[in-house]
């Protein structure tokens, strides 16, 4: 078994290889001036190859996955496992207007054609309940970072209210709260555009309380920043933010900090200055379970 990594996901992949006791190597990558990618794999591959790479900023990466998987097959890999802690294109699961591509289905099927197993963490599934509905593979596995996040929070805080900023976050917030015995609440969110959202806090006494907002991702940061702003208006004590997938596009982090967050804690699903919660043990257990 060999874990291969692209240079942009070197450290997380190497940690996964270490946990698995597997060989590790890097894919060589060259970006031509016109934007095309050249990739080079080790010329001799074992039967089982694992590619570990999160699919944030996905458009170039999807082409590289195609080049990778087809080449790995030609070089002798019989089984190719994709470990993508952050999985892209999972949010567009219907055509909201006639003619729109249903990206979740298209990208899901592409991954199922290229890989034998796909392992990811808390993919943003809205109208479907199982990852296999998007990626038609027996081994399309969706792990949850909830337990790891709960254990992390238990070490940081004696007590806090966990707050989900929208109904979709309820699943994570409820799970984490029940694991560590914290109170929780869930806000209501209406999204009007990429950067336009409205949040309504639940009826809850936040005055001088410590609150941890938990969400699966921060993209533009508007959800987090607005929730923090409303909590401040309600006289909250310290506010922390926990994010599974720290996409933090553009000014997202700045906005969240400006809103008054005390700390931002993220997993290392995507490498970021706030990535302090490691997923490698959970990922390696999942890989071992499918061997």
* Window 130-169: residues binding ligand R5P (CB under 6 A): 165-166, 168-169
**DSSP string for the chain:** -EEEE-GGGHHHHHHHHHHHT-EEEEPEEEE-TTS-EEEE--SS--SEEEEE---SSHHHHHHHHHHHHHHHHHTT-SEEEEEESS-SS-S--S-SSTT---HHHHHHHHHHHH-SEEEEES---SS-S-GGGTS--TTEEEE-SHHHHHHHHHHH-SS-EEEESSGGGHHHHHHHHHHHT-EEEE-EEEE-SSS-EEEE--S---TT--EEEEEEEESSSHHHHHHHHHHHHTT-S-EEEEEEEE---TTHHHHHHHHT-SEEEEETTS--TTEEE--HHHHHHHHHHH-
Give whichever of 4 and 148 is closer to ligand R5P, judged by the CB atom: 148
Q: Which stretch binds ligand R5P (CB under 6 A): 71-79, 101-109, 212-220, 229-237?
A: 212-220
Segment contacting ligand R5P by CB under 6 A, of 10-18, 77-85, 106-114, 209-217: 209-217
Which of the ranges 102-110, 131-139, 217-225, 280-288 carries the binding residues for ligand R5P, by CB under 6 A?
Answer: 217-225
State the nearest-atom distance from the C-beta of 291 to ligand R5P, in Å.
32
| CB of 216 or CB of 268, closer to ligand R5P | 216
Q: Does 93 contact ligand R5P by CB under 6 A?
A: no
Residue closer to ligand R5P (CB basis): 12 or 169? 169
Nearest-approach distance from CB 212 to ligand R5P, in angstroms: 15
Footprint (CB under 6 A) of ligand R5P, residues 180-199: 197
Q: Minimum CB separation from ligand R5P for residue 221, in Å?
A: 5
Could you tell me which stretch among 146-154, 155-163, 178-186, 218-226 binds ligand R5P (CB under 6 A)?
A: 218-226
Q: Which 219-258 positions form the footprint of ligand R5P (CB under 6 A)?
A: 219-223
Minimum distance, C-beta of residue 49 to ligand R5P, in the bound complex (Å):
32
Binding-site ranges for ligand R5P (CB under 6 A): 165-166, 168-169, 197, 215-223
């Amino acid at each position: 078994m060999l874990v291969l990594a692209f240079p942009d996901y070197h450290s997380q992949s190497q940690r996964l290889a270490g946990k698995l006791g597997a060989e590790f190597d890097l894919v060589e990558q060259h970006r031509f001036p016109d934007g095309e990618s050249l990739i080079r794999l080790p010329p001799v591959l074992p039967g089982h190859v694992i590619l570990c790479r999160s699919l944030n900023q996905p458009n170039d990466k999807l082409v590289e996955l195609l080049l990778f998987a087809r080449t790995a097959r030609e070089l002798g890999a019989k089984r190719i496992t994709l470990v993508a802690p952050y999985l892209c294109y999972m949010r567009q699961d219907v055509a909201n207007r006639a003619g729109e591509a249903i990206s979740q289905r298209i990208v899901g099927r592409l991954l199922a054609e290229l890989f034998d197993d796909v392992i990811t963490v808390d993919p943003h599934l809205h109208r479907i309940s199982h990852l296999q509905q998007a990626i038609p593979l027996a081994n399309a596995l969706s792990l949850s970072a909830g337990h790891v996040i709960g254990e992390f929070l238990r070490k940081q805080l004696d007590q806090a209210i966990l707050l989900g900023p929208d109904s979709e976050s309820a699943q994570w917030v409820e799970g984490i709260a029940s694991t560590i015995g914290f109170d929780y609440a869930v806000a209501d969110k209406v999204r009007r555009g990429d950067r336009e959202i409205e949040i309504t806090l639940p009826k809850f006494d936040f005055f001088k309380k410590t609150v941890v907002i938990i969400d699966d991702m921060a993209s533009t940061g508007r959800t987090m920043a607005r929730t923090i702003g409303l909590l401040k208006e309600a006289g909250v004590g310290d506010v922390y933010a926990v994010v599974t997938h720290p996409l933090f596009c553009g000014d997202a982090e700045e906005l969240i900090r400006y809103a008054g967050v005390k700390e931002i804690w993220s997993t290392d699903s995507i490498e970021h200055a706030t990535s302090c919660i490691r997923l490698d043990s959970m990922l390696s257990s999942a890989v071992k379970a499918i061997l």
